[in-house]
Structure 1
Amino acid sequence: MARDVTLLPKAHLHLHFTGSMRSSTLLELADRYGVHLPEALTSGEPPKLRATDERGWFRFQRLYDIARSCLRTPEDIQRLVREAAEEEVKDGSGWLEIQVDPTSYAPRLGGLIPTLEIILDAVHTASRDTGVGIAVLVAANRMKHPLEARTLARLAVRHRDRGVIGFGLSNDERRGLARDFDRAFAIAREGGLIAAPHGGELAGPHSIRDCLDDLHASRVGHGVRAAEDPALLARLADRGITCEVCPASNVALGVYEKPEDVPLRTLYAAGVPMALGADDPLLFGSRLAAQYEIARDAHGFTDAELADLARQSVRGSCAPPDVRERLLTGIDEWLKP
């Protein structure tokens, strides 16, 4: 009998802030604030999305923005983070790195600095109450001006001692050039943060190379389309660059037709470190443990290989040494007969 993947200790390195919200919480907050939700967010089923064309990406972003508009007070932020941590406990995650662009929430929460401090306070409380280690990765939006990204990078560095561990770049990677954001990433790296931009999801292998060459990424958000370039696979493997692969998201957004098409085996066989992630459970309908189920059911990963994936997620994380040791020991225990 296959082991229960919810009991497998693991780290979660690719979870977006609003996208971590429970559907039930969204419905409650929307009712409270009088926000009209489209049927795609009220049906109880993941919306039908296909972001490989511009219209599909616009629809995905619109749904995300509507959901985000329901987060209006510090109490809403606290609730979202607490519930996200509770879901991590259910899925066996002992370490979470949640990604947020604070500019999206700042107009309702008093500005950039108060917003990030509210988020970090919520993270501290949720971590203390649930036992899940949580850190924050501040992400810039590549659809906005690079000067805004520099402001965010400085803000992130300033809060490094309060739980910010990295700097990212999200939204449609087909827009703009990674090198436009090189100064923001230099600020973040010089301030001691890891660089973890998105690449290799909606755009091909070139977007991953841009993340490596222009932004000096130590991790890549998604990165799954490196499978199309053997030389790039070898480069990622040789440098130990962890790719935050999100199988359910890839299928939901139309990057691949079905779970079996997501090239998990290709990356794994090439020795590319992977950290499976849920991306946006609110929109894609599945959380962290379900990504391990996809690896097992659609790709035939054995329990030993699933344990190896979990180890890769821990080693690719910014978790402190004691958390890493505890999780790695737990993974070994999970494998015992």
Structure 2
Amino acid sequence: MRDLRELPKAHLHLHFTGSMRVQSVRDLAAEQGVRLPRVLYEGYPPLLSAADERGWFRFQRLYDSARHVVRGEEAMRRVVREAALDDGAEGSHWLEIQVDPTSYAPFVGGITPAMEIVLDEAASVNATAAESGSARVGVLMAASRTRHQLEARTLARLAKNLAGPGGVLGFGLSNDERRADTTDFTKAFRIAEDAGLLLVPHAGELLGADAVVETLAALRPHRLGHGVRSVEDPRVLTAVVEAGVALEVCPGSNVSLGVYDALDEVPLRTLIDAGATIALGADDPLLFDSRLLDQYETARAVHGLDDAQIAELARSSFRASAAPADVVTAAMADIDAWLAAPPSP
């Protein structure tokens, strides 16, 4: 078997706060005199399930505790820098990190400065990626389902203003998909669409195939965050495949949040057999203690994919990405070289 760490990958589903190292969260909390939930020190990683509202509340409380320590420009830059280094160490050549700037805006003077800090640090990372071994970084903006639709439109307009090479590459919709009506966010996504942004809402994880249908119709996505439950209706899965909508599949997250009871229940093979475009993702490794490399190891050890199939998953992740053409071309050649090399003893 070939070393999965050496396989070039694109990581397309990683949230800003959820990307953090747990030690960085502890360090920032200590610097600020902030008290974290005990489970972020003892008994880590936390046992989570969002199968019901109470479970989601516990997940959100821990997530908010970590987000609360990211106060100010240097902390925000640290998150971007460490996420890129950690992904690079696992073989990621390209990382798309998703940011909702409203949480960090109060500490840096607004949502525009917050996004400009993230974009500036991403540019700094990209300028030295070859020397540092980090992944190159693209930035996606996201609105929250738990906030008013008018805020989503405001964020979409900001994303439009910051769009372009070296700027914001896509626009998403995150948080508990059981909250709010997807159609409430249609206008925000039309603003982002008019700017030529990649449309990457979450759907089809906590809700089933009907939510996928609604999202396809209302938001016209290029990718779906998760989308795994489209398998519950073969007609919906066929519609996803025929529309060319890529799925950001996060097996470790699905199990941690109680969508599936075990990794072998995640329908990765069903999606592959249906012809879906798939990009494996880690979602929130801070709370799930499961990174991108773990998802590829799951594909091999749990779902029985051979190296040719795993290489195709890696290619698929680049095809679904917003990575620059030179990054994609180089990665495809490196994936071919990985597959052509003899397996490790």
Tell me the TM-score normalized by structure 1: 0.98
Partner of 2:302: 298
State the Cα distance separating 1:130 from its structure 2 match: 2.5
Partner of 1:315: 319
Partner of 1:175: 179
For 1:15 and 1:208, the matched residues in 2 are separated by: 20
Paired position in structure 2 for 1:158 = 161
Match of 1:141 in 2: 144
Q: Which residue of 1 aligns with 2:63?
A: 64
Tell me by how many angstroms 1:232 deviates: 1.2
User: Which of 267, 274, 298 does residue 270 from structure 1 map onto?
Assistant: 274
- Letter aligned with residue 239 of structure 1: A
* AA matched with 2:158: L
Aligned residues: 336
Q: How does 1:1-337 map to 2 (within 5 A)?
A: 2-43=1-42, 45-131=44-130, 132-161=135-164, 162-336=166-340, 337=342
Q: Which runs of 4+ in 1 moved over 3 A?
A: none
Q: Which moved more, 1:164-173 or 1:37-46?
A: 37-46
- Structure 2 distance, partners of 1:86, 1:134, is 10
Asked whether the 8 Å contact 1:23–1:44 carries over to 2, the reply is: no
Contact 1:30 1:70 (C-alpha < 8 Å) held by counterparts:
yes
- Extract unaligned runs of 5+ from structure 2: none
Q: CA deviation at 1:319?
A: 0.8
Please give the per-residue CA displacement for 1:265-291, whole angstroms capped at 9, x wherever unaligned. 110100011100000010000111110
State the shift of 1:133 in Å.
2.1
Q: Aligned letter for 1:28?
A: D
Does structure 2 retain, via aligned residues, the 8 Å contact 1:149–1:181? Answer: yes
Measure how far apart 1:69 and its partner are.
0.7
Conserved? CA contact 1:100–1:139, under 8 Å: yes
Report the RMSD for the aligned CA atoms in angstroms: 0.9
Contact 1:85 1:127 (8 Å CA) reproduced: no
CA distance in 2, matches of 1:15, 1:194: 15
C-alpha contact (below 8 Å) 1:170/1:197 kept by paired residues? yes
Whole-Å separation in 2 of the counterparts to 1:110 and 1:44 = 36
Secondary structure, aligned partner of 1:185:
helix
Counterpart-to-counterpart distance in 2, 1:283 and 1:130: 26
CA contact 2:13–2:97 (8 Å) conserved in 1: yes
Q: Secondary structure at the match of 1:300?
A: coil
Q: CA deviation at 1:127?
A: 2.0
Greater Cα offset, 155-164 or 327-336: 155-164
Q: Distance in 1 between matches of 2:23 and 2:65?
A: 15
Asked whether the 8 Å contact 2:72–2:104 carries over to 1, the reply is no
Give the deviation of 1:163 after TM superposition. 2.0
Deviation at 1:123, TM superposition (A): 1.0
- In the alignment, the residues of structure 2 paired with residue 215 and residue 60 of structure 1 have an alpha-carbon distance, to the nearest angstrom, of 26
Deviation at 1:235, TM superposition (A): 1.3
Q: 1:299 is paired with a residue of what secondary structure?
A: coil
Q: CA deviation at 1:46?
A: 1.5
- Rounded to whole Å, the distance in 1 between the matches of 2:56 and 2:78 is 28
Shift, 1:44, TM fit: 6.0
Q: Deviations over 1:89-127 (max 9, x none)?
A: 111111111001001110111111111111111111122
Shift of 1:211: 1.4
Shift of 1:303: 0.6
Offset of residue 175 of structure 1:
1.1
Q: CA-to-partner distance for each residue in 1:119-170, whole Å, 9 max, x for gaps?
A: 1111111222224221111000011100000000000011113421110000
Aligned partner of residue 160 in structure 1, secondary structure: coil
Q: State whether residues 141 and 170 of structure 1, in contact with CA within 8 Å, keep that contact through their aligned partners in structure 2.
A: yes
